[in-house]
Structure 1
């Protein structure tokens, strides 16, 4: 065409028209090339080359000159054998008979059309273009054993979805192509396959026309289809049209059926196989010639609706032609005429306009009844003139909604295609160009959304990527760690790391989990080894001790096994480290042990106690107290420690270990600090409640934290309680009297309330002597209270006097008073002797 001064080509699909339009634009430029379809019109004023659907071909172009048979130097009709199609055949027959170029006309189609072309155009020159590659039948193949770069052809939407779902499970996904898809969606799905993102495509028989794919194999999920009238077996020529998609140029292709699919496309029953004659016909490309082409009067009269119908149903006058079956446009015309809708349709202009409206394609595939209702409403709106721009815009806006599932989006695209067709008519819509642009924009948005839904449902990119590496060393998989510790294969997320544990992505189905885990088990050791090295180099930044284990990022990496006679526990690697290589794991565990040793330095006093308990040179009495202190995690009550059995000469031995002998407790002050108490709790050695800050005074609790002694309604740390007791004894020593004054400033400054500190003192054997109050009218400071120490008090020995009740009052000793003896009493003399 481009070798001529002008030209036009009619295609069976607007997808093909658009594809060739882009190629011609690249050669001739946009100003010289036009695209005309039912739903889109790009027509520059100086256009000389027209790419059209067959229905939209301009047969005459006044003003361009030329011979009597047309105004284009070149005219071509693609897939001319569609003249035998029941629905559209009469359109192709009309173009075959009447579309002519001044210089050259080409009819492109199957060799089955040759006898009819000879009858209709005896002078036509017939040129064959043989297929360079061969097609070979390879029988049935299971879905799980389909070779890569295969297409599966099904004959219903349900069958297409079912096969695509299975391919998603077994092979990672497939592109989907159906006649109900918009051209934009179909192109996007084809690109998904052509780019290699998926290795399989599932399609209806629409794949047999207008799609040039990089296919190696075509598998038929069934060999029957519904042709609009009945369920029938495919003709050999139709089989070859589909199977011929396999192989390109000089590369051979194969075809066969899909094993495990029943005759209706379900799974289970054996599928119908190609018979020998069909295989021979497809492989040798030998088919029975067409015997007739469908024809319908292309230029009917518009005198009345009855005359129009009669002309459209008139039989042809040539033996090679047959009357076309009733197409949807004629069926709608007759239905509306029988319903009385056409009573007001009078005059040639009105009849012509009514017929043009009836020719609106049934994009929704709703059938005659539903489509007739839509056409009737459209005629009612157009009978008085044009459709208003606001009305059309509102209809388009209602459809411009990308929410919904696949079927919903397909329905909206079909509906928007109807409005795109309406907006292309020159005398139907006001502001036609603007409305047509809105319809195209809405269709583009819906097509993008439909492509996204199809890809989301039928493509599992993770599985696809992993399947492509099947048979290779999985350690070569390009696995990387992204943000948030995501594990990526070629930027596709397959899971994430929690510490050193690989977690499969939650969106992965059950069938994908084994594959993802298998890939990770072989590919992650190197990454985890680098992760361990990085953590070691950081000084174990983020590692914590908790619940008897070492944690990192909230997950255990090693358990701490307590050992008898040792503060340092034994380290055991957690299961999360199992994927680390052995050498890396050993080095990492050694680094963890070194870090833990440094971390446990505050427990050095406790380790000294353990060493002393194992020292054979230590006396048994001293070792007994050491064991008691170890069991108490650094402290013990004095009355239960066995201190009464310890000779005084052994006390220096214990003091060298940091032991303090208090009034009520024996303890190691270094172990009462926050750091060692926290470590004992984190290691699981001390199970009592933890007071992490080791505050001087806390509220009294039923289960006191370690290192505290009750003091009324409060509790005080053991070393500070001992500080108070020592200050009291120093005050008693300085007084040199039985009763002494003691300043309460120290316990109050520590945080004890007066009533609670008095109970603490009482527990250590001190008794309060309240000073008398000032006499009424007296001035000056009150006399301070005095204290008296009673070391023999049971409370000092037992330490049980810190209940919330009142302390016991001591009994006052009284000297015996002589009794008066009555005079003359015989015991009087004895009483005198006793005195």
Structure 2
């Protein structure tokens, strides 16, 4: 084919050159509308749509067309057309032609298209080239006679240095060059400043328009974008911050040129308002020389334009490829690198099927048209070529694209689920088929598919905009920022759940009398939001204080954290005072609760706190307020209160010894129990009092964070009589909860008293004094029984530790000896008992301890054939030649006594007969006491408070034997059978039997 001659004249061509914000595009629109017809070519579909909308508003949509690769709006007879540069015709009869952003003629990917239109496309009356001043030299060289008009910038562009992302001013555009960086910056801006709009070249025009509108409307104050904003988008930007200064240009990563940075930075400032630019993130300050060039708009001139031959030879595939490799005919033009269409042609030229089909010029030309399909998806060249091959085969063989194939491809993109990247991929896919639907002659029903693909793209674009907004914009902040700029009083309300809404958006929650701001409420609008919320909070606090003052005690509670709550809402936090039983309440309230309302709340909280502890700790307050207690009795009561209801008996042994029966009775009436091991208040061992005591101690000692706080109370609430001690817990919490740590277990103090009762019954028994109780043995010794372990919930090992911790020791005895002794005791008893048969199974195993229950009063089965058969079980097993029998442990108290058991009348009657031997000497001991009870560390016996008569044998150990032999028998006196004492004696005798 013959080549078309180059136009080497600039006659009737005007180049309007200058930096951004010089009004070049606006001038071109005005000049075009001054003619009866015209064309204007723009670099982006987005910018073309913007200019189309502006012209439509001026002259009406029926007089202007929009022509892009994916969209065509062509009213019949419309004299004006707005196009992308790729969609501009190569020849026209229009009076006016304008080409915007002509500096893109140097772009490696698209530059050859701009160069072609610059050299060949002319209006019949006027042609205007718009672009940067760097194009002046090359345009004058290629187009002699060119008329150049330089336009200065309306406003100044100044460098503002480096700023942190979180400190950038409002109305800032942040520039990055990868989707990941754009997304991460936008998320950070959302967290810190409320949200950001996102503009990238990969977004569909509809989505980009929606994002730009989000920013322009003021819903957000920040825009995160790629260099797409540098191409003519008119934005209300005050500052441009570069988060990156390197980009991938399709071939390599490289630094931005000064002209490219100026093109992007030039978006700052609008008309006569100055703008600033700078860097952010990890970008170092810009070089002074670079800053000066950007501010003064002095850049290196463009010396070479990309060019590709416009005269192509379609006779064969090889001829076409050779014509595309034609060298540039003029100095200043450089043959363009292979673009997407050339790469696709190269791939298809190696496909035998395609070579066979492209056998004549018209089919080669059709193949080249098919190769013009843009690679919206940015996939591998081979994959993109495969799509073109499928389309080309249909066009050759069928005359049009197979609609079944097209429908299948379109349906794959017709889904709005998925994340941002998924939707972006589907939009790129549907844009491919939108482009196909607009190619003339490719489809049998192009209008249907144009509408179908447009509908899908719009739906996907809207979904993508929604996802972007949801991810990168806090809607609440965006709406509120607009209201703040409008300086309008904002509406606030408090819903039933306590949420505080301002203009229908959640800004915080009312918790008691405190306003807890939303964690996302930080930023420029935070103060205004709080001010709007404060107005309604002040009114709500007044109403709430009245409701609280009239509330019953049942609406209040105190948690283990020391917080007083009203209907679940925190009101106050308890703090310790000098009096541990009377903590003070510190209100948890904002400053809006003032005056009389605050006094009402404080008074009602104080009343409940006093009521709560006086009710839960009533036994302690009864001791404090008991005016009848005087002297030693009051001192003991004070010490009991000081120790919060549990007092080790040995710590007050002397005081207890000094009390008379009247004083003891007075303390008992106030709930005090004189136990063997403790003086305590049984009512204080319940869960509620124990929780109150533990809380008060924790407040006093700042111990709420110590391990074990609150955990021991759960055990007490579950009714556990003893628990295994957790070494990680603070031991004090066990004591406060009413437990005593004995070995590896902690035992409740009232359960220890039950154990003391069982031991007391066993050690007080003497042979011949009646039926032998469980565990009873001769003298001070006793045997551990299952009943003792059962009440403690302890094993044999635990029982050994517990008894040792209480001061007991054991003697090992031969089993046969113990068995014989027990049989002897039972035979001497007043009641008839039988020895345990050999096949009687003990109730519970007790390790090395004897199972005393198996040796007493257990109903026996018929006697075995062997009259001397031994009990069997874990403690009494048949003796073998290889194994020796384990000894039996007989327990007795050794050392200073930890308790003083109460005496019965029989104990008092026999106390002068009780003796024990210690350190080789005999000394008198009061009846009913355990060995060594009340003795000092020197081993001296304690004197009973009711001293015996001087002539008593209790004071004369030498007369002990004769006293027993010559003791006169008590003479019985006749008793009146109607006397209540006679009835009482008869009842006692019956109980003994």
TM-score, length of structure 1 as denominator length: 0.64
- Match of 1:189, SS state, is helix
Offset from partner CA, 1:551-587 (integer Å, 9 cap, x none): 4442243589999xxxxx9896565435553423223
Q: How far has the Cα of 1:236 moved from its partner?
A: 1.9
Residue by residue, what CA displacement relative to the aligned partner does 1:477-513 show, whole Å, maximum 9, x if unpaired? 986535632234554424323333445557x5xxx78
Q: Secondary structure at the match of 2:81?
A: strand
Match of 1:347 among 311, 336, 360: 360
Larger CA deviation: 322-331 vs 398-407 = 398-407
The whole-number CA distance in structure 1 between the counterparts of 2:525 and 2:567 is 23
Q: How does 1:120-131 map to 2 (within 5 A)?
A: 120-131=142-153
Q: Does 1:532 align with 2:541?
A: yes
- SS for the counterpart of 2:306 is strand
Give the equivalent residue in structure 2 for 1:8.
Answer: 39
Alignment partner of 2:321 out of 301, 305, 309? 309
By how many angstroms is 1:361 displaced?
0.5
Alignment map for 1:166-185 (pairs within 5 Å): 166-185=188-207
Q: Is the contact between residue 556 and residue 574 of structure 1 (CA under 8 Å) also seen in structure 2?
A: no
CA contact (8 A) 1:409 1:446 kept: yes
Superposition deviation, residue 443 in structure 1: 1.9
* Distance 1:794-1:478 versus aligned 2 partners, 3 A rule: farther
Structure 2 residues not aligned, in runs of 5+: 1-31, 638-661, 663-687, 694-712, 718-979
1:279 aligns with: 291
Instruction: Give the counterpart of 1:26 among 49, 54, 57.
Output: 57
Q: 1:612–1:570: structure 2 CA closer, same or farther, 3 Å change rule?
A: closer
Q: Which residue of 2 aligns with 1:376?
A: 389
Measure the CA separation in 1 of the matches of 2:532 and 2:441. 66
- 1:726-741 matches, within 5 Å, as none
1:214 maps to which residue?
236
- Structure 2 distance, partners of 1:208, 1:792, is 118
Query: Distance in 1 between the 2:113 and 2:990 partners?
Result: 122
Which residue number corresponds to residue 359 of structure 1? 372
CA RMSD, 1 decimal: 5.3
Q: 2:186 aligned to 164, 168, 172, which one?
A: 164
Is the aligned partner of 1:246 residue 2:268? yes
Instruction: Give 1:528 deviation, angstroms.
Output: 4.0
**C-alpha offsets along residues 375-400 of structure 1, whole Å, 9 cap, x if unaligned?**
22332343323234444333222212
Q: Deviations over 1:208-235 (max 9, x none)?
A: 1121222222222233322222222222
Other-structure match for 2:472: 458
Deviations 1:616-661 (A, max 9, x none): 9xxx9xxx9xxxxxxxxxxxxxxxxxxxx9xxxxxxxxxxxxxxxx
Q: In the alignment, does 2:191 pair up with 1:191?
A: no
1:416 to 1:551, Cα distance in 2 relative to 1, 3 A: same
1:72 Cα deviation from its structure 2 partner: 1.3
Q: Deviations over 1:67-110 (max 9, x none)?
A: xxx32122211112212211111111221122222222211111
Distance 1:545 1:380, change over 3 A: same
State the Cα distance separating 1:327 from its structure 2 match.
Answer: 1.0
Task: Kindly indicate whether the alpha-carbon contact (under 8 Å) linking 1:389 and 1:435 is maintained by their aligned counterparts in 2.
Answer: no
Partner Cα separation in structure 2 for residue 404 and residue 578 of structure 1: 44
User: Residue 586 of structure 1 corresponds to which residue in structure 2?
Assistant: 599
- Asked whether the equivalents of residues 481 and 525 of structure 2 are also in contact (C-alpha less than 8 Å), the reply is no
Aligned residues: 642
Of residues 450, 473, 479, the one that matches 1:436 is 450
Q: Deviations over 1:150-186 (max 9, x none)?
A: 2222222233233334433443433222211111222
Instruction: Check 1:587–1:15 CA distance in 2 against 1; reply closer, same or farther (3 A cut).
Output: same
The Cα shift of 1:14 comes to 0.6
Please give the alpha-carbon distance, in whole angstroms, between the structure 2 residues aligned to 1:345 and 1:592.
93
1:73 aligns with 2:98: no
Change (3 A) 1:139 1:525: closer
Q: 1:310 & 1:430 partners in 2: Cα distance?
A: 34
For residues 738-794 of structure 1, the C-alpha deviation after alignment (integer angstroms, 9 at most, x for no partner) is xxxxxxxxxxxxxxxxxxxxxxxxxxxxxxxxxxxxxxxxxxxxxxxxxxxx99988
| Range 533-542 or range 249-258, more displaced | 533-542
Q: Using the alignment, how far apart are the partners of 1:552 and 1:94 within structure 2?
A: 80
Asked if 2 retains the 8 angstrom alpha-carbon contact of 1:112 and 1:289, the reply is yes
Shift of 1:332: 0.8
Change (3 A) 1:614 1:310: same
Structure 2 distance, partners of 1:489, 1:79, is 46
Distance 1:587 1:405 in 2: 54
Counterpart secondary structure, 2:128: strand
The 1:130–1:239 alpha-carbon spacing in structure 2 relative to 1, beyond 3 Å, is same
**Does structure 1 retain, via aligned residues, the 8 Å contact 2:502–2:533?**
no
Change (3 A) 1:454 1:546: same
Q: 1:52 and 1:207 mapped to 2: Cα distance? A: 19
| Aligned equivalent of 1:498, options 487, 511, 518 | 511
Give the CA deviation at 1:30.
2.1
Q: What's the TM-score, normalizing by structure 2? A: 0.55
Shift of 1:18: 0.6
Match status 1:557 vs 2:588: no
2:206 and 2:458 in contact (8 A); partners too? yes
Distance 2:241 2:522 in 1: 28
CA 1:573/1:375 → structure 2, altered by over 3 Å: closer, same or farther? farther
Q: Could you say which residue in structure 1 is the equivalent of 2:330?
A: 318
CA positional deviation for 1:337: 0.1
Verify: 1:56 aligned to 2:69, yes or no.
no
- The reply on whether 1:100 has 2:122 as its aligned counterpart is yes
The 5 Å alignment of 1:657-806 reads none
Partner-residue secondary structure (3-state), 1:442: helix
The equivalent residue for 2:245 is 223
Corresponding residue for residue 236 of structure 1: 258
Q: Which residue of 1 aligns with 2:174?
A: 152
Secondary structure class of the residue paired with 1:201: strand
Contact 2:194 2:523 in 1 (8 A): no
Residues in 2 aligned to 1:483 and 1:104: alpha-carbon distance in whole angstroms: 70
Moved more, 323-332 or 550-559: 550-559
SS in 2 for 1:240: helix
Task: Report the counterpart of residue 111 of structure 1 in structure 2.
Answer: 133
| Contact 2:192-2:522 at 8 Å conserved across structures | no
* 3-state SS of 1:346 partner: coil
- 2-structure distance, mates of 1:576, 1:165: 35
Distance 1:597 1:456, change over 3 A: same
Residue 494 of structure 2 is aligned to residue 485 of structure 1 = no
Match of residue 107 from structure 2: 85
> More deviation in 529-538 or 195-204?
529-538
Unpaired segments ≥5 residues, structure 1: 61-69, 262-269, 564-568, 625-644, 646-678, 690-789, 799-807, 811-835
Aligned counterparts of 2:277 and 2:336: Cα–Cα separation in 1: 33
Q: Equivalent residues in 2 for 1:571-650 (5 A)?
A: 573=585, 576-577=588-589, 580-583=592-595, 584-590=597-603
- Do the aligned partners of 2:134 and 2:299 also contact (CA within 8 Å) in 1? yes
> Is 1:40 the equivalent of 2:71?
yes
